[in-house]
Amino acid sequence: MFLSNAERFIVAFNKIEKYFDQELNDTRYVPFHRAVLRLKMNNAIVNRYHNDLLEYSELRNAIVHERTKINYTIADPHVEVVEAIERIADEVTAPKLVIPTFSKTLQIIQADLTLKDVLATIRETKFTQFPVYRSKQFIGLLTDKRVLHWIAQQMNGDFQELLTTPIHELLQSEKTGQNYRFIPRSMNIYQAEEIFLATIKKHEGVEALLITEDGKPHQKLLGMLTPHDLIDIP
């Protein structure tokens, strides 16, 4: 069945409005614009699109409440607007989750490996971030950035001797705090993005989010994402 732009817009809008009603679970009717303002406080996707959603609310009112005939609407949204609200409706009601979006095989290294071993791994694999374990216990995230910083701090010493330094010593020498966070596989990509934004504002230097079943360090790593990964999402 062929739908006009206005009809497609209303279908997508109603899909979003129904989702809002379910999320708020309020016994009283909550106007759409008020629902947006309430949900954006705790919903990363609504927060991302709240300005667009408020504008779409005005357009919906023009389409629905200002009809002059049964099959005539005073406002007929442009196809780009229709496609935009349809995309937002899909993202709001079924957002992409960090798993499977960022499911990947990670290059895990053991804490007793030397700096020379890690540099060789970087050269051979092109990996630049390494979850570090002592046996099965996670102890930190080593990145090429931290390796370079550590080498720069040790340049007064014998470089050949530096190459034999165990990786766990590099992690212990860092005083800048954790450069990672653990998150659960059920988190959506917009929530992950907000974590990065929040840590940037606090100057916390988080370089990656490590994904496990429930966001616990002792659980199996399922994937990892960086700010750059979020930019590359199709």
CA distance 20 to 38: 10
Q: Count other C-beta atoms under 10 Å from residue 203's C-beta.
A: 8
CA distance 68 to 168: 73
pTM (2 d.p.): 0.81
Q: Please give the C-alpha separations between residue 224 and each of 50, 98, 137, in angstroms, as whole numbers.
A: 28, 9, 17
Mean pLDDT over the full length of the chain: 89
Determine the topology of domain 100-231 in CATH: CBS-domain (3.10.580)
pLDDT of residue 64: 80
| Tens of pLDDT, residues 194-232 | 999 998 888 888 999 999 999 999 999 999 999 888 887
| Tens of pLDDT, residues 56-85 | 999 998 888 655 555 555 567 889 999 999
Domain boundaries, the chain: 5-94, 100-231
pLDDT of residue 145: 87
